[in-house]
Structure 1
Amino acid sequence: MRTVLLHPALAWLALAALYLAGAVLNFMLALSTARMWPLVLAVSLMVITGLCVTAAARSLRR
């Protein structure tokens, strides 16, 4: 169990989860306010989430 918690991919996946939560909240804000800037921010956060997941996958392969 300790090796799972110390694995480098866990940090990337935790960061991806935080960015995903931010993207969902900004998307909900965009729906409720009918503004454009939260939607742009949500899309950029989703791109960052994808990059974090890619980094986690690369560290899993090592």
Structure 2
Amino acid sequence: MLRHRPHRVARGVLLHPAFGWLALAALYLAGAVLNLLLAISTARMWPLVLAVSLMVVSGLCVTAAARSLRR
């Protein structure tokens, strides 16, 4: 009699729950760097405020990724 063997599904890096959070953090960080460069080149204040807020959101995404790694 044949036994039923379960199929093994290889979990790649892209399927890991932390990957989405880290990718989102990288995008927010890239936006923050661009806003920082814009603030330096134009000598205005509003891009700097946006850059700081994007850095905070990026840090929150990294925190969420770290929490999903612990599970």
Q: TM-score range by the shorter chain?
A: over 0.9
Q: Which 4+ residue blocks in structure 1 deviate beyond 2 angstroms?
A: none
**Structure 1 residues 1-62: aligned runs within 5 Å:** 2-62=11-71
Structure having the larger proportion of residues in helix: 1
Equivalent residue letter for 2:64? A
1:15-40 alpha-carbon deviations (Å, 9 max, x no partner): 00000000000000000000000000
User: Kindly, what percent of the aligned residue pairs are identical?
Assistant: 85
Q: Tell me how far apart the structure 2 counterparts of residues 2 and 58 of structure 1 sit (CA, whole Å).
A: 19
Q: Which has the higher contact order (CA 8 A, sep 6+)?
A: 1
| TM-score (norm. length: structure 1) | 0.95
Q: How far apart are residue 3 of structure 1 and its match?
A: 2.7
Equivalences, count:
62
Letter in 1 for 2:12: T
Question: Which amino acid is 2:26 matched to?
Answer: A
RMSD, matched Cα: 1.1
Deviations 1:26-60 (A, max 9, x none): 00000000000000000000000000000000000
For normalisation by structure 2, the TM-score amounts to: 0.84
